[in-house]
Amino acid sequence: MELLEITEGLRFNPQEIHERDLIRARYHTWDKARNGIVTALREHTMAVLFMPEIHRATTYFIIEASEVRDGKWSLAYTQDFTHIGRVDMTYGDGGSADSDAPDGEQEPVGVADGV
């Protein structure tokens, strides 16, 4: 099953990924992947809660469906560990969610209104 659906527009497939799923994500400018939990899933965006290296704080990053389509994210996600979905990065160096090769750094953004 595909993570993205194209119906009237590009959107996340609600039969493939759900709120509370575990996710390992790497944006094309990050030096390493981050593990988190999908906390909000909308048609075009998903919010992921993760713990940064400072373990007394939590923060979110946003994944846009259009950026997944454009190959800017490498994702591995699961609800129950019997099925692990994967999306490979095709933008830039083509790193994977399992790769921690450095290629720049971008800090995660806070949750935008409406997510």
pLDDT, mean over the chain? 82
Mean pLDDT of 97-102: 49
- 62, β-bridge pairs: 47
Q: Picking from 32-36, 67-71, 102-106, which range would have the lowest pLDDT averaged per residue?
A: 102-106
Mean pLDDT of 21-49: 96
Number of neighbouring beta carbons within 10 Å of residue 24 = 20
Question: Domains in the chain, please, with CATH?
Answer: 4-87 (2.30.30.100)
Residue-wise pLDDT for 55-97, tens only, equals: 778 899 999 999 999 999 999 999 999 999 999 999 865 555 5
Read off the amino acid at residue 80. Answer: D
Q: Which pLDDT belongs to residue 1?
A: 67
Q: Are 21 and 38 in contact (CB under 8 A)?
A: yes
What is the chain's Cα-based Rg?
13
Return the SS3 of 65: helix
DSSP letter string over 76-109? EEESSSSSEEEE---STT---TT--------PPP
Mean pLDDT of 16-36: 96
Residue-wise pLDDT for 15-25, tens only, equals: 999 999 999 99
